[in-house]
Structure 1
């Protein structure tokens, strides 16, 4: 098996320029004081202080989620939240959409490769799995320096299934660019991703690259990443790819033969594949991890314990390759302990396209997030979204088709030949 690492860092000068540009564009998100986290002591004057979230964040999903700091309403006897260092996180019920707890849920920050969930949600249904595409030099143009790659080579054919495995397992920016080229190009794909984000009411998200590569003003939030995961998990192919721990990827043709070599690839999601000293999390079925210099480590994971299905997104914890996985696992542990024992502080909203006629679609109060350009605001009602929860029943409400599903069979960890 190959040794898999998160996306590599960009060249220092480029990163510094991007960071400076981001500071100028989003001063509120880089201010000098921090919001305390559960169990975290106050910083001393000698310690550098972290950025803090904007004063006015989106109210999509509920007023509580617009507030800075930790939001939770536990009942008596509920265990306290674990200590976390992440700048933002959210724990939600994947089926009902109820938010059990959050910390700076709508803070727009660099998303890294977790943005590939939106990429997949936008494109995954467009091409049949067995469709083959021979890669051209134009397909590979524009891939950023230091990008994570699965190892695609020009002038060789790959199936759509191969490419999606490259996206999900190795976070391959080369696979993203080939699929984007098949879709009409990077610019068209970015526009469609932004349109999809707007439909999902992911108003904190501003898309500039389909692969999540660090770019000034490219942002998303813990809330939006959870929307992307929940929407993507409605698709059976998405569920399969994100839950695959190991697979074979096609290489060169053997000399003088039509037979093709292959090599093993392993999912960089350490809670799924159990690599680099991280134990696989019981019941975890994906979804996507990421790392860049600006984003730090980011991760969205979904897990099932005895029929309770939770989504956790963690963004930018303290440095350390495994910290994002430790904090995700701790939040999942807490969520499974308290499911049904806390009052929800918000909800993951439904897409506009499945809202019943006459539903609330006006701009949410106080939505002055950094990525307001992502599209018009949306209602904050608790309309339950179809989260990929088994085969659904189509119901017509006010002339709008809405998918209603009651159970969601998450796949187990997969190893593909």
Structure 2
């Protein structure tokens, strides 16, 4: 017996044209008439770190149904008779880069912490805007990163090409390069983050909210395996990104004015060295996020992408779990599908409810704004207030001119 679809979900599916793929094996949420949920692995944080776990925003059913009803599950969803892949990531997704078909996933729309795979959202946002040959100067704020976090080694006052910054970002996961590229693309790192969030909305990545351009942990920063696949699909459509992602090593130029020599960096993504047909991707790790990964490969004219969140390096490292998922996906029939990746801009006119609101710790609240109200609501309030202030200013100016005119008339009468 087929479970009933909530009205909000059905409306979004109707507008976005996303029917549930026939026959998809899916474990639904509590209260469904279908079989019990096959759970995703639990994130086991080592006792030596025990970072505080972030509280994700409340789930919005319509957002979790983006891509198809079968994807609205916290558990495993795979095609009929397909084996469950042997991975330990708390959530993952495999999709076809060209057709957009989702081949399978586990908790595809569940909130997760991104770590450095968030740099792909920075690339999707800023790559089209920046000239790779432009030479730019690094400033002190560009180097304001968490001590001990990954960096390329850019120097305050150093001069580098934009292409060098991109290579430092994608090969060495440079947080200094992330700050620099966000500033170059938007005027400041904070403005760059705002543009990243706008790009996430355009792509339909409704579980994604960036707080830092690099993926360094910040309150209110989340994504999902599905959202990462949307972002990765845009990145791998760009030939410049593909070239950067497959670069094995590059030279960071010397800085004669600063009396510093150049040095070489290597690509940290082991997939490109060890997996036939690899197209590249991005690794990520923080104590909070644990291991995250995005990788893609091509086999027999078929290009697949894998995204995973909340993995541990034991017994299998993040990129190796990605390789296992790619093998699993390539082993499925070409027409296998449990959903699809929406196209950029597809959900702009028919947004699946409001995006997750930012917790108070991540951004100041707006007085009088309803909890969970969409971003445009706050914009309308601010815009209306601005118009009202402008009107009052005009009225006050007119009043002042009239009072001055009356005083001049009285003076002329007295003088005459």
Normalization by structure 1: what TM-score?
0.69
Q: 1:214 to 1:321 in 2, by over 3 A?
A: farther
What pairs with 1:113-152 in structure 2 (closer than 5 Å)?
113-140=116-143, 142-152=144-154
1:73 counterpart = 2:66: no
The 8 Å contact of residues 179 and 189 in structure 2, kept in 1 or not, is answered as: yes
Greater fraction strand: 1
Structure 2 residues not aligned, in runs of 5+: 1-35, 45-52, 359-371, 377-416
Q: Which secondary structure does the structure 1 equivalent of 2:255 belong to?
A: strand
Deviation at 1:64, TM superposition (A): 1.1
Deviation at 1:200, TM superposition (A): 0.2
Measured in 1, the distance between the counterparts of 2:248 and 2:191 equals 31
Partner of 1:195: 198
Q: Which runs of 4+ in 1 moved over 4 A?
A: 34-38, 50-57, 367-376
Decide which of 163, 166, 189 is 1:164's aligned counterpart. 166
1:62 counterpart = 2:68: yes
Alignment deviations for residues 35-55 of structure 1 (CA, whole Å, 9 cap, x no partner): 7558x89x9xxxxxx999976
1:227 counterpart = 2:230: yes
Normalization by structure 2: what TM-score?
0.69
Q: 1:340 to 1:138 in 2, by over 3 A?
A: closer
The 8 Å contact of residues 158 and 258 in structure 2, kept in 1 or not, is answered as: no
Decide which of 324, 341, 351 is 2:344's aligned counterpart. 351
Structure 1 residues not aligned, in runs of 5+: 1-33, 44-49, 274-279, 377-417
Alignment deviations for residues 227-250 of structure 1 (CA, whole Å, 9 cap, x no partner): 111011222211111121211222
Q: 1:255 to 1:167 in 2, by over 3 A?
A: closer
1:213 counterpart = 2:216: yes
Q: Which secondary structure does the structure 1 equivalent of 2:192 belong to?
A: helix
User: Whose relative contact order is higher, 1 or 2, with alpha carbons under 8 Å and at least 6 apart?
Assistant: 1
Q: Which secondary structure does the structure 2 equivalent of 1:291 belong to?
A: strand
Q: Rg: which structure is higher?
A: 2
Partner of 1:362: 350
Q: How many pairs align?
A: 315
Q: CA RMSD in A?
A: 3.0
Decide which of 174, 194, 207 is 2:176's aligned counterpart. 174
Greater fraction helix: 2
Q: 1:85 to 1:350 in 2, by over 3 A?
A: same
